[in-house]
Chain A
Amino acid sequence: MADIGYIAQFLALVVSVYAAGAFILGWRGKHPALLSSARNGLLASCGLLTISVASLVYALVSHDFQIEYVYQYTSRDLALTYRLSALWAGNDGSLLFWAWLLSVLGAAVILQKREVGKELVPYAAAIIGVTQTFFILLLLTIANPFQKLPQVPADGMGLNPMLENPGMFFHPPLLLAGYVGFTVPFAFAMAALLSRRLGDAWLIVVRRWTLLAWLSLGLGNLLGAWWAYVELGWGGYWAWDPVENAGLMPWLVATAFLHSIMMQRRRGILKVWNMVLIILTFVLAILGTFLTRSGVLASVHTFAESPLLGASFLAFIGITIVSSLGLLYYRSEELKSEAEMESLVSRESTFLLNNLLLVGAAFTIFLGTFFPVISEAVRGVKVSVGPPFYNQVNVPIFLAIILLAGICTLIGWRRASLRNLVQHFLWPLATALILGIVLFILGIRQWLALVALPLCGFVLFTILYEWWRGTRARHRMRSENYLKAFWGLIMTNRPRYGGYIVHIGVIIMAVGIIGSSLYGVEKEATLTQGESMSIEDYTLTYENMDFYETESKAVVTATLLVSNQGKLLGRLLPEKYFHRSFEQPVTEVAIRSTLVEDLYVILVGWDEDGTTAFKVLVNPLVNWIWIGGVVLVLGGLIAFWPEWRRQPVPQSAGKRGE
């Protein structure tokens, strides 16, 4: 198996190099035969990498411990599902998975039937081929997943028990798919520059590819947060860890890109800026892959350090930046704007500002993440920043971004009149103000909550107001009933209304983040059996502790009776278990989750005499984050769904805000 996998990797390298070269030569010399052979080459590399992945999966499943990777990440008692997921548990396997995903996307790019942007495909395919070549080179040299051990061990070392969680099936592959996915829009951008076809074609092609990668990365990040919350047992969902930041940065820049390509298509402006954004997104995606592997930054996620691998990634990133920006500079004459920004008070300028803020947020996160490295280079001492830095800097930025999302919904293109503004914003603003007053009366006194929550309300009302006007117009014009009119409204312009649904998702998430970060309460308590503690309105009574053993682990369970203001709610069972093959304990938190708040109990430790230490948290509105995430993904899918009508929906630029 190891040999088949390795040979397939090697052949994939040969074919990828050939395909990339043939695409470039074929297009230059207009040789259709060479082009079609290049296409077959890229498809073949996808087939070969599929064979590699399949042989590694087979080896993992069949306990082929002669392969070092299988030995390191699985053991005989590991369940089948986790043997499968071990494919991306380690460095070498996840790189193979990366390369394979890219080859699948490459094949999809080639096979996709398209009416727009056909001329770009050979160039884009060449770029994909080159990227793929880099990853296969790593797989063949410093990160070979098929490395054999001198003798066959009887059993493997096993998977880290913390990774034995359903999150393991979705979080890493979605994150990786997001990173990989940005290669395609980057490749098309480069194709547009190389072929000097700088019109709308590449934008039309990349919108949905970018959206797909963006959704995948966003969902990956969100699942990571959820996993951390339910599994890692520290009571939070986001710690501004370097690797988390690495997943957030390309997502933010891609968000900016998704917005600013609308401006280019509609008004023919920001052409260079869009190129810069997609280059930046791709570089940050590669950087994310690099950060988890290089050991440059201390993080809970990093794989074992490998300087050579880190150096290769840095070299690849460097070459990408220099060559793509060089090419952009070379073509900058052809990327002149077709129009000028007309007024500061217009939808364009809200888009522009939103772009600056999103990139600004990504930049501050970048600065914070790399500050130890930067300060060491500049001053010779390492200085690091913690979560307070990120929160302090990003809270105002994100509030401004949310505000802009509201303004941009109702403001007109080109130039908005004062009358237009008053007319459209009166109701949403009034409603937001009332919401603020109601919150104040209800006892909310933290100024941040009093600013942020009405702001979220304002954005929600602008969107609902927009939907209401659209629905009413359809209802009047087509005499459809309201429900049908609303459905029709959304379905006729899915990119636009999908976008609004994404905004609503973001707002719901924002409410959850505001609630849980401003109003979370935590308490540590040491209890003997029968003793109680209280937190907020909850009373927890420690009943008893149980020990039991299963085939693979020893489990300690504490039972707590929970009541709220005298009303019995049930029992919570926080656990700690000890895996047979590992010394490390695994903490299983117990969560009682409602829409209003989560009661979160951690079993900290215990003494021989039965005194037990708990940490209890009340986290308000955490469920809103997950619900907002689901809404965001739904909106993204609606925006992504192909239009079944061929002709583009006529969009009368000036009338959007009327």
Chain B
Amino acid sequence: MLRKKKFLVGGLVVFLALGYLIYTGFQSSATYYYEVSELLTRGDSVYGENVRVRGEVAPGSVERESQGTVLRFIITDMEGEQSLPVVYQGVVPDTFKVGVEVVVEGQLDSDGVFQAHTLMPKCPSRYVPQE
């Protein structure tokens, strides 16, 4: 019986260690994931907080500056009602273009502009050319 207990204790230690790792991992990297409208309704409470926002790149909103390393665009809800201006600095992924669904990660500044440090376009394997 003693032997069995040893193994149980060993197993318990492994589980606790895993639990601890997962807990601290979440502490350091869990990020809220909002739709554009959800972010806007939160208003002031999310200023300066690192969040992810999903939206669609609005037509006619994309501007590139500084050799294409600074990108300004507007993302809208899937319904196209609420919109959020975004500034992204860095290498623009190839799949980024108007009409595509993107997830941006960064912070909302007090002017209501979203300062993104990460830009992840969702890339449909099928190509739907612009009408």
Contact = CB atoms under 8 A, between A and B. Distances in A.
Interface in B7-57: 7, 10-11, 14, 18, 21-22, 24-26, 28-34, 52, 54
A298 B103 contact: yes
Given A341-B7, A526-B66, A605-B67, A584 B124 contact: no
Interface stretch (B80-88, B93-101, B108-116): B93-101
A605 B62 CA distance: 15
A654 interface: no
A343 B68 CA distance: 63
Contacts of A233: 91, 94
Interface string A377-393: 00001111111111011
Contact residues of A: prevailing secondary structure:
mixed
A304 B126 contact: yes
B68 A360 contact: no
Contacts of B24: 392
Contact of A158 (B28, B32, B127): B127
A61 to B, nearest CB: 19
A630 B75 CA distance: 43
Contacts of A607: 66-67
A157 B123 contact: no
A314 B69 CA distance: 42
Nearest to B18: A360
A147 interface: no
A283 interface: no
Nearest to A606: B67
Contacts of A353: 10, 14
A587 interface: yes
A606 B68 contact: yes
A382 B34 contact: yes
Nearest to B89: A524
Interface band, chain B: 35 or more
Contact of A526 (B21, B26, B67): B67
Contact of B105 (A72, A343, A386, A396): A386
Contacts of B124: 302-304
Interface string B59-78: 00000101111000000000
B64 to A, nearest CB: 7
A372 B54 CA distance: 13
B23 to A, nearest CB: 10
Given A392-B29, A602-B91, A613 B69 contact: yes
A383 B66 contact: no
Interface string A293-330: 00000111111100000000000000000000000000
Interface in A371-425: 371-372, 381-390, 392-393, 396-397
A341 B24 CA distance: 33
Nearest to A241: B120
Interface centre among A72, A91, A389, A611 (most CB of B within 10 A): A389
A383 B10 CA distance: 32
Interface in A198-240: 232-234
B34 to A, nearest CB: 7
A265 interface: no
Interface of B: 3-4, 6-7, 10-11, 14, 18, 21-22, 24-26, 28-34, 52, 54, 64, 66-69, 90-95, 97, 101, 103, 105, 120-130
Interface of A: 72-73, 89-91, 157-160, 162-163, 232-234, 298-304, 340-344, 349, 352-353, 356-357, 360, 363-364, 367-368, 371-372, 381-390, 392-393, 396-397, 524, 526, 581-587, 602, 604-607, 611-613, 615
5 contacts: A381-B33, A382-B33, A397-B21, A526-B66, A583-B129
